[in-house]
Amino acid sequence: MDLEAEFRDLSGAETVFYVRLGLQLEVFALSEVSDWVDELLLREETPETFLVELYLLLRTDKEQVLAYLGQVYPPETYTVRPALAWLQQQLATSAGALGQVLRALYRLRLLVESEVEVGWIYGLAADFERCATGSDEDIQEVVPRN
């Protein structure tokens, strides 16, 4: 996934929210975040302390990274629509197994509070579950509801 494109023009707090969400849902790996942070560090003459510390933590484990991100930026709430798009993209490109995507959807359900977003999640999960017993062609035709 091109994290540079995903996070372009977002505030620091919003970027951290989506990095944490992507890691929690296992949509992208620590190595992808590390590559993205590497690019940021190489571009900046005097990188922010936050990026340097994040870079060092990315060599440890996901739980330490998530804890650090939660400390540096207090939890804020943004829409989870990008995460739903990431999961849909994983399925469409066969980058993720159906079971993995469904687990991520239900994990996401536990993280959101908005009833509208809960509806999106359950709608998308139901579509995927209906297709789970069908053929590969059925799964490729699934389109998330708005």
Q: In whole angstroms, give the CA distance from residue 17 to residue 73.
A: 8
pLDDT at residue number 141:
47
The residues of the chain scoring below 70 in pLDDT are: 94-99, 106, 110, 113-114, 127-128, 130-146
pLDDT at residue number 65:
93
Q: In whole angstroms, give the CA distance from residue 82 to residue 18.
A: 8
Q: Quick check: pTM over 0.95?
A: no
If you count them, how many residues does the chain have? 146
pLDDT at residue number 30:
92
Q: In whole angstroms, give the CA distance from residue 138 to residue 146.
A: 19
pLDDT at residue number 41:
92
pLDDT at residue number 142:
46
pLDDT at residue number 36:
94
